[in-house]
């Protein structure tokens, strides 16, 4: 039996066709998307009322159609099993009709993008979610910048094919050496890992990173810190001051001298916005993944206060007690792996910030001083910066000055 599919009443007199999702001869199952139309700055998908074969299409992209206008004729079919199979082959993003119903509902629940006026049909949004793609990263090629299925496929091929290839390849290799007990174990990513993973990927892809490596002599700083901590041990309320708090205090000093390192690049306005507050995020390693609580208004805080705050926020992070507010508002980030190890690494910038400082493990090294090798405690550190904001020469000036402050903390006072 032939079924006429007409434009439903969606509360508007007429709407524009953004995408025609099927062709004559296509097999569809009930609830499959047929046409995407523009409605109140969002995209709505008209689902198929029956399973069958598309017989005629009377609309095309760009048409303005009014309520009750005939859009398609579908020859209804009863052989649903066959249709479901065909659909699986033709489009590996459509798995079954129940999933398809979810797609149609997603237009209302997908708040992430609604404010930003992204044009994409529910099926495209679902594809993007499944592939962990942020629609904001894609310039839609469809009408009115609508993101199409092809845009998603193309983006995914360019950005993620290495990932897909590697996984398959590893599994095939493992299959050849098969020993039943050695079947791979799948560990699901935690929520934090999923969110931070996609942010890290975007930041790595979109920001031209340069990493400047340096090291500085912290022998005297550590002598002073240990002495200060040991002198105060008897005091019950005393919170020992950490090496990291001196690093934070020194970075604040450097940022006051070189404010561009405490800025945000506004690409749309071709400007660099210099932050007036110095708020430093500290990367904290937790059981569920990386969290970055932010130390606020650091211009006015001394080393003890900073040390106490790091201790407090790191504890909260590790016990899953951070509030959203405590993780917002950063203007610069420090990632310290010094307590764990390593001689150097390239930290990834935490956008929209422009820089991130990585701290590695301090070790005793022979340093040539006054015609003699002397054992000195050397701290390696690395500064990754957005090369659109910072020049290489300035990057080296930053690390020089930071090194100077840490090697002689009296400089912090002048």
Give the catalytic positions in this structure: 387
* 81: number of Cβ within 10 Å: 7
Report the C-alpha gap between 143 and 61 in whole angstroms: 8
Name the 3-class secondary structure at 285: strand
Sketch the per residue contact string, 300 through 339, with ligand CAO: x for CB under 6 A, - otherwise: ----------x---x--------------------xxxxx
Nearer of residues 205 and 276 to ligand CAO, judged by Cβ: 205
Count of residues touching ligand CAO (by CB under 6 A): 19
Decide if residue 359 touches ligand CAO (CB under 6 A). yes
- Report d(CA 264, CA 212) in Å as an integer: 19
Binding mask 27-66 for ligand CAO (x = CB under 6 A): ----------------------------------------
Least distance CB 361 / ligand CAO (angstroms): 4
Q: C-beta of 159: minimal distance to ligand CAO in Å?
A: 21
- What's the count of helices (H) and strands (E) in the chain, helices before strands? 10, 19
Q: At what angle do helices 303-318 and 243-257 cross, to 10 degrees?
A: 110
Residue from 221, 362, 383, 390 that binds ligand CAO (CB under 6 A)? 362
Scanning 6-14, 61-69, 149-157, 357-365 for contacts with ligand CAO by CB under 6 A, the matching segment is: 357-365
Stretch that binds ligand CAO, among 110-118, 206-214, 278-286, 298-306 (CB under 6 A): 278-286
Q: How far is the CB of 381 from ligand CAO (least distance, A)?
A: 8
Q: Which of 147, 283, 355, 389 binds ligand CAO (CB under 6 A)?
A: 283
Q: What's the min distance (Å) between Cβ of 61 and ligand CAO? A: 45
For residues 201 and 180, give the distance between their C-alpha atoms in angstroms, rounded to a whole number.
34
8 A C-beta contact, residue 147 and residue 118:
yes
CB of 21 to ligand CAO, least distance (A): 41
Closer to ligand CAO by CB, 42 or 335: give it. 335
C-alpha span between 38 and 52 (Å, rounded):
25
Give the 3-state secondary structure of 79-121: CHHHHHHHHHHHCCCCCCHHHHHHHHHHHHHCHHHHCCCCCEC
For strand 372-386 and strand 355-359, is the pairing parallel, antiparallel, or unpaired?
antiparallel
Q: Note whether 401 and 394 are within 8 A (CB).
A: no
Q: CA–CA separation, 194 vs 288, rounded Å?
A: 10
- Contact segment (CB under 6 A) with ligand CAO among 57-65, 117-125, 133-141, 277-285 equals 277-285
For 339, phi then psi, to 5°, come to -75, -10
Binding to ligand CAO in span 159-188, by CB under 6 A: none
Closest CB to ligand CAO among residues 140, 358:
358
Is residue 284 part of the contact set for ligand CAO (CB under 6 A)?
Answer: yes
Residue closer to ligand CAO by CB (options 45, 353) is 353
CA distances from 292 to 323, 380, 389 (A): 11, 21, 23
For 64, half-sphere exposure in the C-beta direction (CA atoms, 13 angstrom radius) is: 3
Q: Closest residue to ligand CAO, Cβ-based?
A: 338
Q: Minimum distance from CB of 339 to ligand CAO (Å)?
A: 3
Contacts to ligand CAO from residues 233-252, by CB under 6 A = 242-244
Query: DSSP readout, 199-265?
Result: HHHHHHHHS-EEEEEEEEE-HHHHHHHHHHHHHHTT-TT--PPPHHHHHHHHHHHHHHH-GGGGEEE
Q: Rule CB under 6 A: is residue 74 a binding residue for ligand CAO?
A: no
Site for ligand CAO in 376-395 (CB under 6 A): 379
Q: Shortest Cβ distance from residue 384 to ligand CAO (Å)?
A: 11
Q: Tell me which residues touch ligand CAO (CB under 6 A).
A: 242-244, 282-285, 290, 310, 314, 335-339, 359, 361-362, 379
């Amino acid at each position: 039996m032939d079924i006429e599919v007409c434009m439903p009443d969606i509360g508007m007199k007429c709407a524009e066709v953004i995408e025609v999702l099927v062709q004559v001869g296509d097999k569809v199952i009930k609830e499959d998307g047929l046409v995407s139309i523009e409605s109140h700055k969002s995209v709505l998908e008209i689902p198929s009322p029956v399973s069958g074969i598309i017989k005629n299409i009377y609309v095309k992209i760009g048409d303005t159609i009014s309520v009750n206008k005939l859009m398609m004729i579908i020859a209804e079919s009863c052989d649903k099993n066959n249709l479901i199979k065909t659909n699986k082959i033709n489009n590996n993003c459509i798995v079954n009709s129940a999933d398809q119903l979810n797609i149609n509902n997603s237009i209302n629940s997908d708040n992430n993008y609604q404010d930003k006026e992204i044009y994409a049909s529910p099926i495209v949004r679902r594809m993007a979610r499944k592939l962990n793609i942020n629609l904001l990263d894609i310039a839609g090629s469809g009408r009115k910048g609508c993101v199409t299925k092809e845009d998603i496929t193309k983006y995914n091929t360019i950005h993620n094919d290495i990932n897909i290839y590697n996984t398959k390849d590893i599994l095939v290799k493992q299959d050849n050496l098969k020993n039943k007990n050695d079947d791979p174990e799948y560990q699901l990513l935690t929520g934090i890992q999923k969110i931070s993973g996609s942010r890290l990927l975007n930041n790595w892809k979109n920001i031209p990173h340069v990493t400047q490596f340096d090291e500085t002599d912290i022998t005297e700083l550590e002598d002073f810190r240990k002495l200060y901590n040991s002198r105060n041990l008897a005091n019950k309320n005393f919170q020992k001051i950490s090496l990291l708090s001196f690093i934070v205090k020194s970075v604040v000093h450097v940022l006051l001298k070189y404010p561009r390192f405490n800025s945000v690049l506004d690409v749309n306005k071709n400007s660099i916005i210099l932050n007036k507050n110095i708020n430093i995020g500290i990367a904290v390693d937790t059981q569920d993944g990386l969290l970055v609580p932010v130390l606020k208004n650091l211009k006015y805080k001394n080393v003890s206060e900073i040390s106490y705050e790091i201790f407090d926020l790191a504890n909260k992070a590790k016990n899953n007690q951070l509030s959203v507010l405590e993780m917002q508002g950063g203007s610069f980030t420090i990632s310290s792996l010094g307590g764990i190890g390593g001689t150097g690494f390239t930290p990834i910038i935490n956008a929209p910030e422009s820089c991130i400082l990585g701290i590695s493990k301090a070790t005793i090294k022979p340093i040539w001083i006054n015609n003699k090798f002397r054992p000195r405690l050397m701290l390696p550190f690395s500064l990754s910066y957005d090369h659109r904001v910072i020049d290489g020469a300035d990057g080296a000036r930053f690390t020089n000055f930071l090194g100077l402050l840490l090697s002689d903390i009296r400089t912090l006072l002048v």
